[in-house]
Chain A
Amino acid sequence: MFHFIKLRKYWYILSLAIIIPGLFSLMVRGLNLGIDFTGGNILEVRFTQQVTIDRVRQVVESLDLGSGRNVQQSGERDFIIRTRPLSQEENDKLLDALRKNLGQTTLLRSDHVGPVIGRELTRNALLALLIASVLMVVYITLRFEFKQGIAAIIALLHDVLVTTGIFSLFQFEVDSAFVAALLTIIGYSINDTIIIFDRIRENMRVHRRGEELGELINVSLWQTLTRSINTVLTVMFVLLALYFLGGTTIKNFVLAMLIGVSSGAYSSIFNASPLWYDLKMMEKKKALRTA
């Protein structure tokens, strides 16, 4: 039986090993922001006849609406075309050109986001993350203690960084659903952490003098481990089903959730509680020094 608290150095290192490349990528390359944030047009079309992606690119490029790199095949005869924000006339021109050159075209999806909306969305997204975090620290401080609130928030920050980091590393597209995913991950991660903190809180009540805190945390973690694993498993079932069987439009949302939920399960066990332990130890050392 390994000891969660004694080995905490390794858990921290593993977390950093994932976060640091992600942070680096975030600084160097940033996120692949979708039109929700940057403004722009997305056109998803289905052709009646078989069409190659190069042919679609040619048509798009001939109209000077943004580079043809932004053409992507999404199904057998389905293509997604991303461009700068188009006026209604430009939009119609593009559709006409596709029809004229490549045959009958069914419009599956057509999104247009102006630059103003994108800016507002970014602001609201950051605001939402901030407000949610503050509210949760307040709640945990009320129900538990401030240091546990801090540990939980660091764990949560960990999950946000892991998820955005991986999205930056692999340049997966980030849209407004990604923000919803992040907030759900935060809710989920906190959920997980609190179940563990609750067990620690309960065990503290029957805490014998002389029992080391690290031992107590370790026992609590083992007591909640089956639950942690089972819960992650059930959520994973649902997410995997959604990822492989669900529609294309929520793929990125589900992907973010998959990464975040795994990270959340990890950080609740391997980061939140050990961090709280370290915070407690710092407090003790300080008390000893002042005594």
Chain B
Amino acid sequence: MKWNKVLILAAILLLVAAVAVVAVVPLGVKNATWNKYFPVVKDVNLGLDLRGGVHVVLEAKDTPEAKVTPEAMRQLRAVIENRVNQFGVAEPVIQQQGERRLIVELAGIKDPEKAVNDLVKVAYLEFKTMDGKTILTGADLKDAREAKDATSGAVEVDLEFTPAGAKKFADATTANVNKQIAILLDGQVLQAPTVQEPILNGRARITGYRSLDEAHTIAILLRSGALPVKVDVEEKRAVGPALGADSLAKSKHAAVVGTVAILVFMLIYYRLPGLIANFALLVYALIVLFIYVGMHVTMTLPGIAGFLLSLGIAVDANVVIFERIKEELRAGKSIGAAIDAGFKRGFVAVFDSNATTVLAAIVLYYLGTGPIRGFAVTLIIGIAASMFTAITLTRWLLRLVAAANISKNPRVYGA
């Protein structure tokens, strides 16, 4: 046995094990610069299916009053963005797809149903006189805030008009003293107060809400303005926080069990090379995790499946090569020569087979949507990383093992 090589080998294996532990187990290091990178797992972007949230595809529809134009879509997007920002969601995603679709993704909200409702509410505000004449609309509104009346404690929404709106409101209240003016939201009369005297300061209030929350929602809707076109919810996938947490826990559990099963199998069947392959597999998993974090890949349930599948593919690359090495050993080659020949012959097969899988994954990426894309991305990253670890790292480690001269017995190599 050559002890210096054994030492190098042991050092490498220890290092890998240490990094692996640090990557997944929080150590409670308080140092901020370090904490940024460890534990890696914490920084993986979780998809909506794992942490709860809602994915909505909105489609703008033509109506006799409003046609869908690029300009209308820009306005629509602005209004939706405005509303989303009011929800106070971290990292919302709003993107246009095609000519008339908007994709909105909100993570970690408590009540996804309500969020979707608020998102697509029309919120068309009108002030009308008794004879049905529209005095002003939401377009004349400068601001809307929920508030509590200091004396009565009643919940209200305070409205402030633009200068033009203030002028219109002043004229209308002057002309309608002792008459009612109706306030309508989405065509429904909210209230119809009687005008006591002309209101010249450009302010009005709507009362009669049950809670501050309700007033808050209305205020948001009014502030963000009416949607410029009719919008339908084409697709909605809402995952409650309970199910998200449940899925995450279950997937983690499944991933651990599946991985351990692979590790044990490799160790029993391939012995020393199996051990090396297991370490290569750990490095592989780490590389993949780092890429996920670096590229901001969003981890979804299908993504986890893609990751685990690529783990299987990574194992396969090793299996193909190890089988070759065993053959070469049986043919009477020395351990070093068998390792080299095994890698050389195994590589072509591994490359060709992975190339075809990547082709399928690329097609999936371009034609798939949402979670399917996530699956394709994780699969491609996984295959690329597995090629690297199986070809480069395993080979290097195995050569080191051979050089360390730990054993000349081919049985140790599984042959």
Contact = CB atoms under 8 A, between A and B. Distances in A.
B101 to A, nearest CB: 9
Contacts of B261: 234, 237-238, 241
A173 interface: no
A157 interface: no
Given A234-B265, A238-B261, A194 B349 contact: yes
B4 interface: no
User: Which residue among B353, B371, B376 has the maximum number of chain A CB atoms within 10 Å of its CB?
Assistant: B353
B357 A110 contact: no
B7 interface: no
Q: 3 smallest A-B Cβ distances: which pairs?
A: A241-B258, A187-B357, A238-B258
A117 B57 contact: yes
Interface of B: 49, 57, 59, 111-113, 116-117, 120, 232-240, 242-243, 246-247, 250-251, 253-255, 257-259, 261-262, 265-266, 269, 301-302, 305-306, 308-309, 311-313, 315-316, 319-320, 323, 327, 345, 348-349, 352-361, 363-364, 367-369, 371-372, 375-376, 379
User: Which residue among A121, A223, A246 has the maximum number of chain B CB atoms within 10 Å of its CB?
Assistant: A246
A195 B302 contact: no
Contacts of B323: 224, 226-227, 230
B372 A177 contact: yes
B359 A139 contact: yes
A184 B372 CA distance: 11
A242 B312 CA distance: 13
24 contacts: A44-B243, A107-B240, A109-B238, A109-B243, A110-B236, A114-B233, A124-B367, A127-B367, A128-B364, A128-B367, A131-B363, A135-B359, A140-B356, A176-B372, A177-B371, A191-B316, A199-B349, A223-B327, A231-B315, A235-B312, A237-B261, A240-B258, A246-B251, A249-B247
Given A112-B236, A116-B234, A190-B360, 6 more contacts: A183-B361, A184-B306, A187-B379, A198-B349, A238-B259, A239-B258
A179 B120 CA distance: 31
A250 B368 contact: no
Contacts of A125: 367
A231 B113 contact: no
Contacts of B120: 88
B242 to A, nearest CB: 6
Interface in A57-109: 88, 91-92, 95, 106-109
A49 B379 CA distance: 42
B355 A139 contact: yes
A127 to B, nearest CB: 6
A141 to B, nearest CB: 12
B316 to A, nearest CB: 5
Interface class of chain A by DSSP: helix
B240 A247 contact: no
B276 to A, nearest CB: 16
A136 interface: yes
Nearest to A127: B367
B360 A177 contact: no
A113 B363 contact: no
Contact of A180 (B57, B312, B358, B368): B368
A254 interface: yes
A242 B236 contact: no
A116 B254 CA distance: 35
Contacts of A95: 113
A256 to B, nearest CB: 11
B243 A128 contact: no
User: Which residue among A136, A184, A202 has the maximum number of chain B CB atoms within 10 Å of its CB?
Assistant: A184
Contacts of A124: 367-369
Contacts of B233: 88, 112, 114
A250 B305 contact: yes
B263 to A, nearest CB: 10
